Structure formats: structure tokens, C-alpha cells
Amino acid sequence: MSTFTHFNDQGRARMVDISAKNETSRAATAVSQVQMTLEVLNKLEEGKIGKGDVLAVAQVAGVMAAKQTSNIIPMCHPLALTGVNIHFSTERCETKGTIKIEVEVKTNGKTGVEMEALTAASVCALTIYDMCKAVDKGMVIGPTYLVQKTGGKSGDYRREIAEGGAKKCGE
């Protein structure tokens, strides 16, 4: 494991100096999910949530969050993103429904976009919760994690998911 880079020689927080790094094509994919009752999932899909089109609003919120990551995560660099793509899918089990969120963020730059992808996935999930909480306050968000990243000096990363490592519906 590498050392932490966000500390100066006094042990205090710092924004990492990336001025000597090369600009490369970079991408990151993160996922999150929101578990809810089947009643909420059905209402969401039927457009019967009183606040409007939940996934459309979550999509816009996720894009906005990716673009604003450096404003809410103190040591993140402001980045010119070249793309943000958000995909939603649903899963049903006995009494639970899950909305899965997958976010891919791209840039050409000197630092990666992992935080932008994670922030976007998190804000999508929070937006879904906010818009559906009147029907179900017991929704569960997560897990939220990085699936992969490409580009940069540290190379590519892809999460290894062990056999049987995926959660079964309702867990």
C-alpha cells in the first residue's frame, strides 16, 4: 500500500502538487445502490412519487455533483470533466427493491476522477432517498465503491469481486 499523499512534512493536510504530472486520458467508474420497499420501487417506476421523475432528477444531481466535487471534498483539484454517464438498473426480491447506480466519469488531465465518480454515485443515491422518503424512511443507501479507474501514473485499477462476494437481494 502506498503512503498517504495529502499530508505535508508537518503532518498537516495539503492539496497534492500535480504540476509536474503528465496530462493523460482518465476514467473512473463507481457504483452505489438504494434499497427500498417494493411499494416505493413500483411508485417510482410508475411515476407516482409526488416530487416528480426521481431518476431524471437523480441523474442531473449526479452530473452536478461530479462537476462540483472539488467544492465539497477539500483536497480535490477542480477538473474539467469531459464526460459523466449515469446508468440506473433495478432489482426485485421478495419484499425489497433495489435501484443500482453506475457512474462513469472521464477527463483528460493530471489527476484522476475517482472522487468525482464516487461523489456522483453518492449524490444520486441521496437524491433518490430525498425524493422517496415520504413513502419509505427506512431505505438503505450503499454500499458505494470504486469499480475501476484508468490512466495516470499509478496505472489501472479494477475491483476484484470474489466468488460469492456479491450481496444477495435483501442483505
Q: Are 27 and 146 in contact (CB under 8 A)?
A: no
**Sequential DSSP letters for 111-125:** S--HHHHHHHHHHHH
Report the distance separating Cα 121 and Cα 114, nearest Å. Answer: 11
The reply to whether 130 belongs to the active site is yes
Residue 101, all three cell numbers:
447506480
* Element at 24 (helix H, strand E): strand 24-37
Q: Are 169 and 161 in contact (CB under 8 A)?
A: no
Q: Are 88 and 101 in contact (CB under 8 A)?
A: yes
Of 17, 53, 130, 136, which residue is the catalytic one? 130
How many other C-beta atoms are found inside a 10 Å radius of the C-beta of residue 89? 10
Residue 97: DSSP 8-state: E
Instruction: Return the active site residues.
Output: 130
